[in-house]
Amino acid sequence: MDLNKENVRLIRETKTVDGFGAGTAVTETEDTIEVHIYDIMTKDRDLIPPGESSIGWAKMITDEEYDLTNLGDNIIVEVGDIIQRSTTVGVNEQFRVEQRIDRAIQGNVVFREFLIRRLNA
């Protein structure tokens, strides 16, 4: 593992809907991935919705995709996913992936960067 990255749990919720569009069930799938999470910087303040404080927001860098089983069924972080991070005091922080920020060099995506919002204090 890269020294700047940490292991987090990627939680993806999938809703089952009936014929009327009402949710009937929610299932969760979980995987462990390596990411780098850091605080919002002043230059990134314009990414946060107007009127909201930057407290509780962070940025996350991920790999383009993760092949966790070596079978080619690659996992890609998507907007709406939940990231669960364990802190040094044993508390689990949860973040929701809110926005993808593309970073490319000469047209090739090198890494994926996301804006994430804390769900719990």
Render pLDDT for 50-69 as a digit per residue (tens, 0 to 9).
877 778 889 998 887 777 66
| CATH number of the domain enclosing 19 | 2.40.10.270
Let me know if residue 38 belongs to a domain. yes
What single-letter DSSP state applies at residue 47? G
**Number of structural domains the chain divides into:** 1
Let me know if residue 1 belongs to a domain. no
Let me know if residue 68 belongs to a domain. yes
pTM score > 0.75 for this model?
yes
Let me know if residue 114 belongs to a domain. yes
Token pair, residue 100, equals: 């993808």
Provide the residue range defining the domain that includes 95: 6-118
Let me know if residue 22 belongs to a domain. yes
Q: What's the pLDDT tens digit per position in 79-118?
A: 999 999 987 777 888 999 999 986 666 667 667 889 999 9
The residues near 93 (Cβ < 8 Å, ≥ 6 apart) are 84, 85, 86, 87, 118, 120
The residues near 8 (Cβ < 8 Å, ≥ 6 apart) are 32, 33, 34, 35, 37, 83, 84, 85, 86
Let me know if residue 20 belongs to a domain. yes
